Amino acid sequence: MTRSEILKALRAETNEFDVVVVGGGITGAGVAREAAGSGLRTLLVEQKDFSWGTSSRSSKMVHGGLRYLGSGHYGLTRDAVRERERLMTEAPGLINPLPFIMPHFKGQFPGPRVFQALLRVYDFIARKRNRRVLNPAQAMLWVPGLTGENLSGASGFTDAVTDDSRLVLRLIAEARRDKALCLNYTKAVELKRTDGQVSGLLVQPEESETPIEVSTPLVINATGAWADRLQSGGPSDTTMHIRPLRGSHLVLPWSCLPVSCSVSLFHPEDGRPVFAFPWLGTTVLGTTDLDHEGNLDREPVISEVEVSYLLEIASTLFPGTHLGRGDILSSWAGVRPVVTDGTGKAPSRENREHELRVDRGLVSIAGGKLTTFRVIAREALTQGLGENKRKLLRAETEPVFQPANTVPRPSVVGHQNWQRLQGFYGPDLNELIASGPLAPVTSGQGSDLIWAELYWACQKEDVQHLDDLLLRRTRLGLVLPQAGKALLPEIRRLCQPLLGWDDQQWKQEQARYLKIYQNAYSLPSGEASDAG
């Protein structure tokens, strides 16, 4: 069903659901996928775009959380490692293994022995050996340009990387295959209760002044950093206290910092682990961890302090690169919805485990990791459905992702890119290939994106604004110089008819997109780089 068809149906008679999910990030999409896959009548609403919040601005890592293992959170690490293995098996091309190298320097904690002990536990949980020990010469072969000063060796292991926004969209596509209705730009306005029990929800589509009331006995509040809003008014023991923490990243041309694996180091300023890793033909530097005090309804923005912090780690790891602000292609900042006990811990010391609160038909979720979305979703549904209905939930062994159809690889698409397309689009791959040209959008600039993907997004993936297309359905705005401004005339020529926008609407959308880029994805001063 199209967006307009869904809204028309909701205003008519299709407005009774077993569960309504509020929030279209990784957690909400995971809940919708598990609920619909269990045969529950499911509606998902997201106040902005799918993955607009943290789930398009994460560190892109599907990992077990080695840092959390070191701080004693064995359960979190165990769940994450097992989910990582499952996801890599079910969706290769979307979730891919990535080598990690942790250099060890003389006098630095943890040293090789302690770190290898952690990796032994990591491997035990995964039930396979990924760890390796490297001497200084081997470390510098793995990571050309790595500083040799006081280098005593390195530890190697394997985790995984993804495109977080595409992961969310793939989950939503899977939920829709099982008849879930999913709407972006539709805000949850008011929770309805009868005799204290949840009975429905009032929702407001962006394009309409008339709200819609839907009936449901169960609302899953998966709004992350916004969870406080929907849960307000409940008993004190059902209310979570969210501490929004910002993590920011810099995107550089791969030629400026050519890494083929993730290279991690403890920052000399505060001892936090930070890293450089390859992503979509670029190199990403991340991440920071500090309190976010801005308006949550506005795009989070990297600060000048964070830019300097991340460039410092690059110059420490790779002293010969001489990176500066002029090399930066883009930035992104995401807000982590961490549940706090209010004891005033340093941001990096806050617990990253997820928490749930149940309040008479309202289940609120906060915290957790990208990797464990399925575990969190099933726990939320189990608690929300109650003992009498828990048997409705599908078996633990049921797959998250349906495999891609067996389609011959077109000769113009390389083997590696073909695997990516299979992972990104799954059972929709055949239709995707038939939807538009298979030529690369940016030949020679590192991105494997083909024009058919833009065609598909415009026609099938709920693009309401140009930033949806260029920042989340694709990542052109992050990986191309100046937000891909030079490519906009060609995108307009090919995509404007598919979107059904007239010339005036295109001009408005282009102005909106470039403003969003300058304000939230460029440097703090708004100056974009001409690099690349």
Q: Which residues contact 208 (CB under 8 A, 6 or more apart)?
A: 7
Q: Which two tokens stand for residue 258?
A: 């050519």
The neighbour count for residue 497, using CB atoms within 10 Å, is 10
Q: Which two tokens stand for residue 268?
A: 């000399």
- In the three-class reduction of DSSP (H, G, I as helix; E, B as strand; rest coil), residue 54 is classed as helix
Among 127, 68, 99, 116, smallest CA distance to 372 is for 68
Among 344, 356, 405, smallest CA distance to 383 is for 356
pLDDT of residue 40: 97
Is the pTM above the cut of 0.85? yes
Among 133, 97, 127, smallest CA distance to 115 is for 133
Query: Residue 187: beta bridge partners?
Result: 204
Which positions of the chain have pLDDT values less than 50? Answer: 526-532
CA distance 285 to 272: 13
Instruction: Please report where in the chains the tokens 């190199």 appear, as a residue.
Output: 283
CA distance 292 to 464: 28
Q: Which two tokens stand for residue 473?
A: 């359905």
- Cα–Cα distances in angstroms (integers) from residue 354 to residues 72, 154, 363, in the given order: 15, 32, 13
CA distance 108 to 101: 15
pLDDT of residue 297: 86
pLDDT of residue 526: 45
Among 43, 26, 39, 112, smallest CA distance to 395 is for 39
The pLDDT tens digits for 103-143 are 999 988 778 898 899 899 889 988 889 999 999 999 999 99
| 451 neighbors 494 (Cβ within 8 angstroms) | yes
Show the 3-state SS of 118-144. Answer: HHHHHHHHHCCCCCEEECHHHHHHHCC
| 48 neighbors 190 (Cβ within 8 angstroms) | no
pLDDT of residue 261: 96
CA distance 497 to 494: 7
CA distance 70 to 364: 28
Q: CATH for 244-335?
A: 3.30.9.10
Instruction: Please report where in the chains the tokens 């991440």 appear, as a residue.
Output: 287
pLDDT of residue 224: 85
pLDDT of residue 294: 82
Domain segments of the chain as ranges: 3-54+165-241+350-392, 244-335, 435-521
CA distance 368 to 129: 26
- In the three-class reduction of DSSP (H, G, I as helix; E, B as strand; rest coil), residue 15 is classed as coil
pLDDT of residue 530: 40
Instruction: Please report where in the chains the tokens 């890119």 appear, as a residue.
Output: 417
pLDDT of residue 337: 84
CATH fold, domain 3-54+165-241+350-392, is FAD/NAD(P)-binding domain (3.50.50)
- Per DSSP, the residues of 444-467 read TSS---BHHHHHHHHHHS---SHH
Q: Which residues contact 147 (CB under 8 A, 6 or more apart)?
A: 316, 317, 318, 319
The DSSP call for residue 184 is S
pLDDT of residue 503: 98
pLDDT of residue 231: 64
| 376 neighbors 257 (Cβ within 8 angstroms) | no
- DSSP β-ladder status, 151-162 and 132-134: antiparallel
CA dihedral of residues 515, 517, 522, 527 (deg, nearest 10) = -40
CA distance 186 to 205: 4
CA distance 357 to 99: 37
HSE-CB at 180 with a 13 A cutoff on CA atoms is 30
